[in-house]
Amino acid sequence: MTGVVVIQIHHLRSGAEADFAGNFETDAVPVLIGASGRLLGAFITEHAENSFPRLPVRLSENVFIAVTGFDSPEAHASYEAAVAASPQWQAADVTWRTETLRLTPTSQSLLR
Contact between 12 and 62 (Cβ < 8 Å): yes
Query: pTM of the entire structure?
Result: 0.83
- List of long-range contacts for 31-36, beta carbons under 8 Å, 24+ apart: 31/79, 31/82, 31/83, 31/86, 32/68, 32/79, 34/82, 35/70, 35/75, 35/76, 35/78, 35/79, 35/82, 36/70, 36/71, 36/75
Quick: pLDDT tens for 2-17.
689 999 999 998 888 8
Quick: pLDDT tens for 43-64.
998 888 888 889 888 778 899 9
Contact between 5 and 72 (Cβ < 8 Å): no
- Domains of the chain: residue spans and CATH: 4-46+61-103 (3.30.70.100)
